[in-house]
A = this chain, B = another copy of it.
Amino acid sequence: MLHQIGLHSAEDLFASIPEELRLTRALDTPAALSEIELLAGFERMAANNAASQRASFLGAGAYSHYIPTIVDHIISRSEFFTAYTPYQPEISQGTLQVIFEFQTLVCQLTGMDVANASMYDGSTALAEAVLMAERVTKRSKVVACGAIHPEYLEVVNTYVQHAGIELKHVAFEPSSGQVPASIAHLDDRTAALVVQSPNFFGCIEDVAALAEQAHNAGALLIVAVTEAMSLGLLKSPGAAGADIVIAEGQSFGVPLSFGGPYVGLFATRDKYARQIPGRLVGEAYDKQGRRGFVLTLATREQHIRREKATSNICTNEGLIALAATVYMETMGRRGLRDVAVQCAQKASYTSRRISEIEGFSLPFSAPTFNEFVVLGPGNAAELLSRLAAERDINGGLALSRYFPDRPNDFLVCVTEINSRAEIDALLDGLADIAHSSA
């Protein structure tokens, strides 16, 4: 082929690169491995992840739920897996209809009117929601209330730092764990009130009450949901009056995978549709009146609006949105509630039983879904590392990781995959270790 196009050597292909810029040595990266060697190598490294092999009660924004086998089968179909953004609708109807169903399911679960085709994850979705609130209200202050996932707040901080947005925090109420009854900072300069429910401590917030306060101040209410599974049981944020709802969709059929890829859900009211970030798929018809789907309202997007776009996002989380869609449709109307109820039941059994153990208590009074904070008799990090070492159980997250002032608190998450046996082993472990170190 080289000769066909009049070249002599591969080197000639790069003639337009100045000689002195061309690499004259081989890259200092490893030599090629065969499949056999490669797999053996990764298996060795995987074996080095002790935490992946045991019963776990870790949640805090990434959840272990059962994933129906068909999810991975479907997302592995070459036609979904090796296609890209559906720029050519005539040969992308599979992806487009899936996204349309995804948008619909997100609207149904969040109780909103319109949802986009996905964001990178929950944390960036929250940051984009804050930026959108500023665009919608033309106000520049945002009030984040109560226990919001600390990493989500960090991301919001990064995004708003150059956007001229002032971010205020309202601490959670220490006895309930929820947002306090009256919220400081909320005024006519406030673009949005941001709340997470269930919040980082697992406490369910009174979203309806917060919506009222926000709306009274002419601000939007942004509700963040890190445990999307809660939507199967809890009142939808939309029904409670939220203006923008964002969620982390990982709970819907997506493996933990050390933190990603996950998928951000983003939904709002019809009237704000043209302010939404990211891609939107809409219904369209061809000359013969056949229904199809297309990327629409593109005038919001970077490839057309450049610096005036509603966001810089281009590639989103297509395949993960597909996984979530397969999950939501497989579980369906009945299953999504069943799982949510099992989570709530198992978590409530566990919290009840832990609170009965000498030296352990539940510091917060608010109702919870499948996560709750436990106040232990001593340093939680040590307690948990002993639990891991001696009982081979991940007992949860020591809050000191994010809240140095709460050394003895830890966050426990229980889902449908935690069997009674695992839970009882956790209870015994906590009791024995606390006792032995007392």
Contact = CB atoms under 8 A, between A and B. Distances in A.
Interface of A: 35-36, 66, 68-69, 73, 76-78, 416-417
Nearest to A70: B35
Contact of A35 (B66, B73, B76, B77): B66
A35 B253 CA distance: 14
Contacts of A76: 73, 76
B417 A68 contact: no
Dominant SS among interface residues on chain A: loop
A157 B66 CA distance: 50
> How many copies of this kind of chain does the complex include?
2
Contacts of A417: 36
A76 B77 CA distance: 9
A36 B66 CA distance: 7
A73 B417 CA distance: 28
9 contacts: A35-B66, A35-B68, A35-B69, A36-B66, A36-B416, A36-B417, A73-B76, A76-B76, A77-B78
Contacts of A35: 66, 68-69
The interface centre, meaning the residue of A36, A68, A69, A417 with most chain B CB atoms within 10 A of its CB, is: A36
Contacts of A36: 66, 416-417
A416 B37 CA distance: 12
Contacts of A77: 78
A100 to B, nearest CB: 23
Given A35-B68, A76-B76, 7 more contacts: A35-B66, A35-B69, A36-B66, A36-B416, A36-B417, A73-B76, A77-B78
A255 to B, nearest CB: 15
A416 B73 CA distance: 30
A77 to B, nearest CB: 8
Contacts of A68: 35
A420 to B, nearest CB: 13
A246 B77 CA distance: 35
Contacts of A66: 35-36
A76 B36 CA distance: 21
Nearest to A69: B35
A416 B34 CA distance: 12
A57 B162 CA distance: 64
Nearest to A38: B69
Contacts of A69: 35
A68 B77 CA distance: 18
3 interchain residue pairs of minimum CB distance: A36-B66, A35-B69, A35-B68
A68 B39 CA distance: 11
A416 B35 CA distance: 12
A78 B76 CA distance: 11
Nearest to A39: B69
A78 B78 CA distance: 11
Nearest to A74: B78
A325 B76 CA distance: 22
Nearest to A78: B77
A66 B40 CA distance: 12
A284 B417 CA distance: 54
A35 B416 CA distance: 12
A55 to B, nearest CB: 12
A176 to B, nearest CB: 35
Contacts of A73: 76
A68 B34 CA distance: 10
A114 B35 CA distance: 34
A340 B153 CA distance: 59
